Structure 1
């Protein structure tokens, strides 16, 4: 089992199943939402994810995709696309260490000009 929480500790969650492969997303929306060069994410089945304390708010950041965050501190916990059966977990909120492997970088066409890649992972211009 994995667990995670937000910055202030009000939101806590558990994951009872597997955490998917790690993807580093460089899209402009992730840059803005995380105030960083990219966001490291992985998929988790809806049925394996449970918020056990705290309250989340949501924001539809792009058509059909909402981001869920702590209503108190603003930490983004996950995103969810309509008509899917998984969430997009923001790995920075994990309190346990995932055993998932890194898969790739996506949306490198939006790469922050001040960021330099330091790994050999595959890089994709858009979402793949």
Structure 2
């Protein structure tokens, strides 16, 4: 297995390896991503090739009312992975801000902008979806 990507949490306790990412990666503006990341949006990429390299015992998870599960480091609080009930088996969504290696691929959309922060407006450089990717386009 080729593991071109490596990542870690802020304190370095948790480290992972990932394979190639799926073509679609997005900036998510939903209220849960905003609150979990403490930012206007969170950027995720998904892969079928993922493994923890160290610190797995330091992981904690939060399961939201909608069934989404977010894993984070108990030491520093870094958000690491996300899975929704709709995520296909074997697919892991990774918070791309935790990557330590370069990533040539770029996000291709803004999603859930309908519930985004009122103090931030995405630019029209990428398609902006009101909710998920299949929802209406609503770029500024």
TM-score w.r.t. the length of structure 1 is 0.90
The CA RMSD measured in Å over matched residues stands at 1.4
Given candidates 115, 119, 137, the residue that maps to 1:110 is 115
Higher relative contact order, structure no. (Cα contacts within 8 Å, ≥ 6 residues apart): 1
Instruction: Mark the runs of 5 or more structure 2 residues left unpaired by the alignment.
Output: 134-140
Equivalence for 2:53: 52
Q: TM-score, normalised by structure 2?
A: 0.83
User: What per-residue deviation string (whole Å, max 9, x for no partner) do you get for residues 74-101 of structure 1?
Assistant: 1010112246221111000000111223
- Give the number of equivalent residue pairs: 125
**Partner residue of 1:72?**
75
Whether 1:25 and 2:22 are equivalent positions in the alignment is: no
Following the alignment from structure 1 to structure 2, what is the Cα–Cα distance between the partners of residues 74 and 98? 23
Is 1:127 aligned to residue 124 of structure 2?
A: no
Cα 1:30/1:99, change in 2 over 3 Å: same
Q: Which runs of 4+ in 1 moved over 3 A?
A: none
Tell me the residue number matched to 2:39.
Answer: 36
Structure 2 residue 6 is the aligned partner of structure 1 residue 3:
yes
**CA distance in structure 2 between the aligned counterparts of 1:63 and 1:116, rounded to whole angstroms:** 26
Structure 1: stretches of 5+ with no match in the other structure:
none
Answer 1 or 2: which has greater strand percent: 1
- Does the C-alpha gap of structure 1 residues 73 and 49 become closer, same or farther in structure 2, counting only changes over 3 Å? same
